[in-house]
Amino acid sequence: MPTPPATAPQPPAPPIPLAELLAREDLGLRRIAGPADAELLWVHTSEMADPYPYLLGGELLLSAGVLLTDPDRYVARLVEAGAAALGFGVRPVYEAVPEALVEACDRYGLPLLEVPPQTPFTTIARAVWRLMAEARHRELRRVTRAQQALATAAARPDPVPAVLHQLATQLSGRAVLLTARGEEVHAAGRRPHPEAAAALARLARVVARERPGSPASATDTHGDTHLAAYALGGGEGLVLSLATHRREPGDHTVAGIAVVLLSLLAAPHQGADAADRSAALVRLLLGATPAEVAPLLGPDGPWTVIHARRSDGTTPDALTAGALGASLGSALVDAGREDDDETVRVLLPATASETPPHPGWTLGVSAPAPLPALAAADTRAARALAHAEATRTPLKVDAPVTGLAALIPSDQAAAHARTLLAPLTPSLTDTLRCWLSLHGSWDRTAVALFVHRNTVRQRIGRCAELLDVDLNDMDVRTELWFALRRE
């Protein structure tokens, strides 16, 4: 006895609810047995006594009962083949639908439709295909809108939570980014029942790529909640998990778009020389000097240091910081330290293109520096960031020494700067530098240094006393600025 294929081919369009076909008044169809919640994938006409071998599953089978002799066995075979519904045409073979067929369909739970004599089977088939085409059009429009919304979210300053929020909105459910151990990294949407949430975490562990052969995705149901989990290609062990109360055509496609975006956002931006850079880090940790590891970093040097803070004052997480680094073109990202967890630091090859402003971020960029001078470049990037925040500009680049100042050898300039600024403490030196860079603005200096404006006035007054100079004199300011730039 032939059996249906294990995996039926996909239909040309999304399934349509049986209720939509019954709502077509021009067809005159009437459900007289079985449930009303079936979904139709195909239309097939057959007058065989047993059409089982020729059914794929999900069909609306149309028949006039030419060879119908045993209604019970006939319906049982249709249900076994996976048929969605039976449409029975009255006349010319039968004047009415046989009562035994009605009883068998009720018994086996197969929807039975009465097809009136004036409705040709081809008209029903044409109506089904038209409904499927309309459903396909609606699905494509929905997927297109979702794709645009997700892409817009991915371009936001906080792309990972923004994408999750948009995905939860599009699917009317819960979207969660989980680690392989089931820990929440980000989440959006209404939280499901605790038992469903636990089931979602278990499903995430199934697809987390911690062992060979793990599936890329998995689905399950918990009560009336549909669950799905997708492994992110770029995130180590990260899983996108979804919980929705209904599953619509296009949901899987929308989720797939989000998986691609989140994989890119969560992936480390690694180049071909990632192994050499890892080796350089290991050697530094083992005590090598920057000069010794510089050759491993190859031709990408010199380097630019970038300091970044969120414009809205919020603290960025590791994924958001990593997304910023990826957009800048570097995987060398420090998401924050214990003494300053709001600042993201990015190390970028100076050969990269010019750093553009990033919406939602304030950036301070150092001038290019060789590896041994990165500590000084880090300080200059911090000053540039403070300047950008004080002046409310999205980007400040610390310019290299050029012009007349570049004519003096750096060692002589540094020696002069140390002598001139020797009376000042580090705190006073930083305050004077910031104040001069902001053209003597008390308020902007206070913003940049996170102190009160009266504190700035007191410190600048103390600088004038210790240096015994008039800070209102432009010549004095110019010489001090030169020294502060070359110390």
Query: Is residue 374 situated within a structural domain?
Result: yes
Tell which residue, 409, 389, 203, has the closest CA to residue 307. Answer: 389
Q: What is the mean pLDDT of residues 129-138?
A: 87
* Whole-number average pLDDT of the chain: 81
Number of domain units in the chain: 4
Confidence of residue 3 (pLDDT cuts 50, 70, 90): very low
Q: How large is the average pLDDT for residues 18-22?
A: 92
State the Cα–Cα distance between residues 397 and 387, nearest whole angstrom: 10
Give the domain CATH number at 110.
Answer: 3.40.1390.20
Six-digit token pair at 395?
A: 């980007």
In a domain, 341, yes or no: yes
Give the pLDDT of residue 99. Answer: 94
Residue 283 forms part of a structural domain: no
Q: Give the pLDDT mean for 245-267.
A: 81
Task: State the pairing for strand pair 42-45/59-63.
Answer: parallel
Whether residue 481 sits in one domain with residue 416? yes
Most confident listed range (104-118, 138-152, 250-264)? 104-118
Domain boundary pick from 381, 400, 419: 400
Residue 420 buriedness (CB in 10 A; 0-12 / 13-18 / 19+): middle
d(CA 478, CA 484): 10
Q: What average pLDDT does the segment 43-65 reach?
A: 92
End position of a domain, from candidates 266, 301, 328:
266
Nearest to 236 by CA among 181, 282, 273: 181
Task: Give the confidence band of 340 by pLDDT, cuts at 50, 70, 90.
Answer: low
- The whole-number pLDDT of residue 107 equals 94
Residue 429 lies in a domain: yes
160 close to 320: Cβ distance less than 8 angstroms: yes
Q: Contact, 459 vs 428, CB < 8 A? A: yes
Asked whether 207 and 228 are in contact (CB, 8 A), the reply is no
Q: What is the pLDDT of residues 165-221, one digit of tens each?
A: 999 999 889 998 887 777 788 888 888 888 888 888 888 878 875 555 567 788 888
Q: 105-114, 128-137, 224-233, 275-284: which has the highest mean pLDDT? A: 105-114
Residues 6 or more apart whose Cβ sits within 8 Å of residue 96: 90
DSSP 394: S
Instruction: Give whole-number Cα distances, 321 to 54, 162, 314, 340, in Å.
Output: 57, 14, 12, 14
Query: Is 2 a member of any domain?
Result: no
Buried b / exposed e across 364-390, counting CB within 10 Å, b at 16+?
A: bbbbbbebebbeebbebbbbbbbbbbb
| Average pLDDT, integer, range 295-310 | 74
In the block, tokens 């046989």 appear at 98
Quick check: is 319 in a domain?
yes
80 lies in which domain range? 16-131
Amino acid, res. 414: A
Please tell me whether residues 112 and 192 are part of one structural domain: no
First to last CA, the chain: 91
Which range has highest mean pLDDT (44-53, 207-216, 367-376, 420-429)?
44-53
What are residue 319's phi and psi, to 5 degrees?
-70, -40
Encode pLDDT of 429-452 as tens digits.
888 888 888 888 888 888 888 889
| Structure tokens belonging to residue 297 | 């970093």
Res 123: pLDDT: 93
> Please, where are the H alpha helices in 438-473?
442-449, 453-467
Question: What is the structure's pLDDT at 106?
Answer: 94
Percent share of the chain, pLDDT over 70: 82
Spatial contact of 121 and 89, defined as CB atoms under 8 Å apart: yes
Q: What is the pTM of this model?
A: 0.55
Looking at the structure, do residues 303 and 380 belong to the same domain, yes or no?
Answer: yes
Asked, as a colleague might, if the bond just before 14 is cis with ω within 30 of 0, I would say no
The per-residue pLDDT for range 8-17, each reduced to its tens digit, is 455 556 788 9
Q: How far apart, in whole angstroms, are the C-alpha atoms of residue 234 and residue 429?
A: 45
Q: Residue 482: give its domain's CATH number.
A: 1.10.10.2840
